[in-house]
Amino acid sequence: MLSRDIARILDANLNRAREALRVMEDFVRFVLDDPAGCAILKQLRHDLRECVRHVSLEDLLGARDTPGDVGTGISTESERHRTDARDACVASAKRLSEALRTIEEYAKTFDAGLSAAMESLRYRAYEVEQRVILRGTRSARFAKVRLYVLVTSSMCRRDWLETAAEAIEGGAGCIQLREKDLDDGELLARARRLSALCHERGALFMLNDRPDIAVLSDADGVHLGQADLPAADARRILGPDRLIGLSTHTAEQLGVALGLMPDYVAVGPMFASTTKPQEHVPGPSLLTLAESATSIPIVPIGGITIDNAGILRQAGARRLCVCSAVIDSDNPQSAARALLG
C-alpha cells in the first residue's frame, strides 16, 4: 500500500497530466484540425493510463483531500490569462512534462519500473510538444489535401514547372518533386523553384528521398521509401517543423510505419503502375486496412487514374496521389479537376 503522502502527490499529478493532455488534444482537434496530432496525443493518454493501471485507485482516491490541500488557494496572475488557444496549449504542454517528472521522481520510492515508464513518457511529451507547436499547422494542412501530385520532368508532357502550376490550379494541395537521376545541384535548383511556386500558390511542397535538399529548398517535408533513410535520421536533418511521409506496400510495413507516428503514410500500389512497377500489388484492401487502423492521413498511390479513382473512394480513400494521370496530360489542370470529381 502507498503511503498517504506519496498517494496524494501521485493523485494530484496524474490529474494534472491527464488534464494537460486533454487541453492539448482539444487544441489539436478543434483549432488545428490535425488528425495525426490527435492520434499521437490519444496514444500518449492511453499509454499513461496503462503505466499506472497497477497503482491502486483506492489508495489514490482515499488520500485525496481537496479541501485540505494548501495549494488550491495559491495562484499567480499569469495563470489566469492566456493570449490565445495556442498559448493555452503551450502552458498545458509544460504542465504535462512537470507532472510526469514529479510522478517519475516519487515513483522511485516504491516502483522503479513505474519511474522508468514515466521517464519514457516524459521524453515523448517533449517530442509531442515540439510536434504540435512547430509543425501542427503543416500537418493540419496536409490532412485537408485531397489530391497529391508527383512531378518528374521526364514524364511531363509539357514543361515540368508549368505542369505543376496547372496541377495546383486544378486542385492539387500537395506537390512532390520526384527526380531520381538529377545531380545534386540541379535537384536543389529545381526544388527551390518548385518550393517557391507551391508556397506562392498555397500548396504544400514535398521532396522525395532527400531531407538535406528539402531543408535547403524550404520544402514542407520529405517523402521516404522503404530503402531510404530511416525516419529518425531524416528527422534529425529536417528538424521538428517539417513533415515526413512514409511509403508502405504490405500490412507489416504499414504496422511498422504507424508505430513511428509519421505525418502521413502512403500505401500502394493500388493498381499496376507503369510509373513505378512492383511485383506485389496490394490493392485497395491495404487502403481499407490503413484507414481503419489510424487517424494519421493515408495516401493511396500507384496506378491511379480517373477511371479507377472511384474504386478507391469506395474503399475509404480521403485523398489520392497520382503521377502520370496528371503530368502526362495535355491539360494537367483539367486532369486534376477530374480526379477530384
Instruction: Answer yes or no: 247 catalytic.
Output: yes
Instruction: Answer yes or no: 276 catalytic.
Output: yes
Rounded Cα–Cα distance for residues 87 and 31 (Å): 12
Output the nine-digit C-alpha cell for 47.
499509454
Is-contact 115 102, C-beta < 8 A? no
Phi/psi at 190 (5° precision): -70, -40
Residue type, 159: D
Closest CA to 172 of 195, 214, 202, 213: 202
Return the number of other C-beta atoms located less than 10 Å from residue 223's C-beta: 30
Q: Which of 16, 141, 178, 319 is catalytic?
A: 178
Residue type, 102: T
Instruction: Answer yes or no: 42 catalytic.
Output: no
Contacts (Cβ under 8 Å, ≥6 apart) of 179: 152, 153, 187, 190, 208
Cis-peptide into 277, omega within 30 deg: no
**Which residues participate in catalysis according to the annotation?**
178, 247, 276
